Amino acid sequence: MFCTAEVGFGLSPTATFTAFKPFFVELALPYSVIRGEAFALKATVFNYLLQCIKVRVTLAESAQFQVQAGENGAYTSCLCADEGKTFQWEVTASSLGEVNFTVSTEALRTEELCGTELAVVPAQGRVDTVIKPLLVQPGGILEEKAHSSLLCQEASEEIYLQLPANVLTGSERAHVTVVGDIMGTSLQNIERLLAMPYGSGEENMVWFAHNIYTQQYLEKSEQLSPEIRDKAQGFLQSGYQRELLYKHNDGSYSASGKSDVTGNTWLTAFVLKSFGQARPYISIDEKHLEDALGWLQRHQQETGCFRSVGYLLNNALQGGVVDELSLSAYITAALLELGQPLTDPMMTRALQCLRKSSTSDLYMQALLAYAFGLAESTELRDALLQSLAQHSVSAGGQLYWQRKVKALPSPYGNHAPSVEMTAYVLLAYLSLPNVSAADMGTAVQIVRWLSKQHYPYGGFAYTQDMLVALQALAKYAALTHSASGAVSVTVSSQAGAWQQFHVENANRLVLQRAALQEIPGQYTVRASGKGCVFVQLTLRYNVPPPKSTVTFDLRLETEPKECTESTRSGFSLVLHARYSGERPASNMAIIEAKLPSGYTPVKRSLQQLEKQRLVKWLEVQNDQVTLYLDQLTKEEVSFTFSLEQDFPVKNLRAAPVRLYDYYKTGEHTEAEYSAPCGSAPDTNTMGNSQ
């Protein structure tokens, strides 16, 4: 409480009071169950009064679940002073999503005795009602498909949401999001872009670069708040200090630092480029740049090309850089981004190497076009872009390039393997000091296509896709950002349902969202006004675990295998995994192990698991344990942790486990396991008990 005076105001002394209910009810239920499973919903009532009361405890009816209980699902019982009793119902979940359970407890007026006492009715607080949600899941494996569109001015697009034949009934759901920024979905999940760097010399630099390009994009599009800037710069400072741990005495860098025989050419160039781009945000010791530059210079051959030395744990980080010419083009572009003068003998010889090259490979042409653009060698850049234009794929105002290699399947179904190459072409079109109107017109078509490659939560499929696409989109944002304009977006279905959104500068960065009810269904997305909007229709559904073992083998066992009295309360899960693909080993691998309903992991067993050689770290969520592994080889390894039952659940469904490559999510396999005792024990205690 405060009081005012003619000048200023004053605060009164703090007053405190204690409030309590005469009685209250608590609900206990698992975090989640799978549709069709049954569990015991427990309501415990506590009496804080000094006298006895008689209460009626009622579970409200709902079409979302079925109850097997006593008369009308209600119980009546006496509770005397400081006494608590538990009432329970056997509940079977029938609806998907968040299901609310409502339990009311009422003190009854009665002439009946509770033991030897007359039951009282409190003057206040005669009823206590508790509502608690439970997540009901369909089981199986979640799949997501995103249909993304960048719509500018007057534009429209037809999108069809289609389900596979093996979809689990009722698991389908869809929504549309609208935001006035091409990276809007990613920025809503910014923790996927801005994160603390960690891991080896390679992984650390990946996250370091993510933080740089994300900050560049936010800065150029006028979205960099002081809070995000401080967080990003803190991450950059930490990543910078960590990367120095992987520096060799000769100035090079490698995945494991000095324990490696030599530094790696590509990684050293990546570090040099990234440290240079971080200079506007954090303090970088120029000596580290000079040392790396000197090491690269010592590995430059008489031809001007660069020699490849050292190795990477994850070759996928290099993207399409696979030979001496592509490595030399990458390093040359990195040096030009760093600001090395064209008169520098190292740069002169590097460009000489590239000018003498001849290639029909589209990826190489894209990388060379970008390098020549940075070097302001306009004729060479234009010649390469003209050659690339002859091999472009154009459809619906979009432009992209496809590599002639077999693409890996994507779990989201919309990944294209040419994101990195197309992003390099975009950088080439934007590389000259003054971008022409013609180049900008082509760039818009490329950006439209890149926008369609976003995953449902933003970002792109593979690490190198993300790095190059982020860099290109940051450059595009710097050239095209405008705070003016307003766009109206209408999403309509053939059946007549429709949603409307309005985007202007005031809400340009607000992610607007609405559910879509018609699945499957055909939708028309139409934009009108001045400016651009990013629209994404996301379809989610569950399917049975596919029997795929193309690149990984995964076997699951429970210990013990058979149901005994002791295994009802807990058991151990053993994960047997190995890599079976074409390479000697995988990149960092992830195992996502769902838990059976009503079970939780035993902390002590997880602590032991974390000490295992290949386990980098693990995460524990409400219904899942996730293991991050250094890599998997052709030799099978096993990982074990224990589970204990905290809620009995009947008709237990199998729990899925997913194993995939962190950098190539298209390489994956799935399996499932069941608890040794598939059902909770029958009980005669449904009703009230002490």
pLDDT tens digits, residue range 569-582? Answer: 899 999 999 998 87
CB neighbours of 23 closer than 8 A, spacing ≥ 6?
45, 46, 47, 48, 49, 53, 55, 79, 105, 107, 122, 125, 128
For residue 647, how many other CB atoms are within 10 A of its CB?
A: 18
pLDDT given at position 502: 93
Instruction: Tell me the two tokens of residue 467.
Output: 């790095």
Element (H, E) at 445: helix 437-451
Is residue 138 a contact partner of residue 96, using CB atoms and an 8 Å limit? Answer: yes
Is residue 668 a contact partner of residue 660, using CB atoms and an 8 Å limit? Answer: yes
Cα–Cα distance between 44 and 38 in angstroms, integer?
Answer: 19
pLDDT given at position 685: 32
Alpha-carbon distances, residue 626 vs 59, 192, 481, 575, 641 (angstroms): 36, 17, 39, 12, 12
Q: Does residue 566 register a pLDDT over 80?
A: no
CB neighbours of 318 closer than 8 A, spacing ≥ 6?
266, 312, 330, 464
CATH of domain 141-180+416-543: 2.60.120.1540
Question: Number of C-alpha atoms within 13 angstroms, CB side, residue 149?
Answer: 24
Asked: is 552-673 a CATH 2.60.40.690 domain? The reply is yes
pLDDT-derived band of residue 204, with 50, 70 and 90 as boundaries? Answer: confident
Torsional sign, CA 677, 683, 688, 690: negative
Residue of 495 and 527 predicted with greater confidence? 527
In CATH terms, are 23-138 and 552-673 the same topology?
A: yes
Query: What digits encode the pLDDT tens for the residues 261-293?
Result: 899 999 999 999 999 999 999 999 999 999 999
Residue type present at position 14? T
Q: Does residue 495 register a pLDDT over 60?
A: yes
Question: pTM score, two decimals?
Answer: 0.62
Residue of 424 and 681 predicted with greater confidence? 424
User: How many angstroms separate the first and last alpha carbons of the chain?
Assistant: 45
Q: Give the pairing type, strands 486-493 and 498-504.
A: antiparallel
Is residue 255 a contact partner of residue 202, using CB atoms and an 8 Å limit? Answer: yes
Is residue 212 a contact partner of residue 270, using CB atoms and an 8 Å limit? Answer: no
Residue type present at position 150? L
Instruction: Tell me the two tokens of residue 583.
Output: 């390479």
Instruction: State the angle between helix axes of 419-429 and 463-480 in degrees (0 to 180), rounded to the nearest 10.
Output: 30
Q: Does residue 643 register a pLDDT over 90?
A: yes
Residue 173's nearest CA partner among 212, 137, 218 is 137
Query: For every residue of 142-185, which 3-state class applies, written as one string?
Result: EEEEEEEEEEECCEEEEEEECCCCCCCCCCCEEEEEEECCCCHH
pLDDT given at position 320: 62
Tokens 């590995």 correspond to what residue? 299
DSSP percent split of the chain into helix, strand, coil, nearest 5 = 30, 30, 40
What ranges do the domains of the chain cover? 23-138, 141-180+416-543, 186-357, 552-673
pLDDT-derived band of residue 18, with 50, 70 and 90 as boundaries? Answer: low
Cα–Cα distance between 238 and 235 in angstroms, integer?
Answer: 5
Residue-wise DSSP of 1-32 = -EEE-SSSEEEPPP-------SEEEEEE--SE
pLDDT-derived band of residue 300, with 50, 70 and 90 as boundaries? Answer: very high
Tokens 């590509």 correspond to what residue? 266
Using the CB atoms, write b or e for 301-315: b if 16+ within 10 Å. eeebbbebbbebbbe
Q: Does residue 302 register a pLDDT over 80?
A: yes
Pick the CATH number of 23-138 from 2.40.100.10, 2.60.40.10, 1.20.810.10, 3.40.109.10: 2.60.40.10
For residue 519, how many other CB atoms are within 10 A of its CB?
A: 15
Cα–Cα distance between 677 and 670 in angstroms, integer?
Answer: 22
Is residue 230 a contact partner of residue 268, using CB atoms and an 8 Å limit? Answer: no
pLDDT given at position 687: 38
Q: Give the pairing type, strands 38-47 and 84-93.
A: antiparallel
Cα–Cα distance between 270 and 264 in angstroms, integer?
Answer: 10
Mean pLDDT across 19-34: 83
Instruction: Tell me the two tokens of residue 640.
Output: 């074990």
Which CATH fold would you assign to the domain 186-357?
Glycosyltransferase (1.50.10)
Q: What is the mean pLDDT of the chain?
A: 83
For residue 1, how many other CB atoms are within 10 A of its CB?
A: 8
Share above pLDDT 70 across residues of the chain, in percent, rounded to a whole number: 86
Q: Give the pairing type, strands 127-137 and 32-34.
A: parallel
Residue of 593 and 21 predicted with greater confidence? 593
Is residue 519 a contact partner of residue 164, using CB atoms and an 8 Å limit? Answer: no
Query: What digits encode the pLDDT tens for the residues 381-419?
Result: 999 999 999 999 887 778 989 866 544 433 333 333 488
Is residue 664 a contact partner of residue 317, using CB atoms and an 8 Å limit? Answer: no
Residue 513's nearest CA partner among 173, 219, 134, 240 is 173
Residue of 172 and 149 predicted with greater confidence? 172
Instruction: Tell me the two tokens of residue 268.
Output: 């050293």
Share above pLDDT 90 across residues of the chain, in percent, rounded to a whole number: 33
- By residue count, the chain amounts to 690
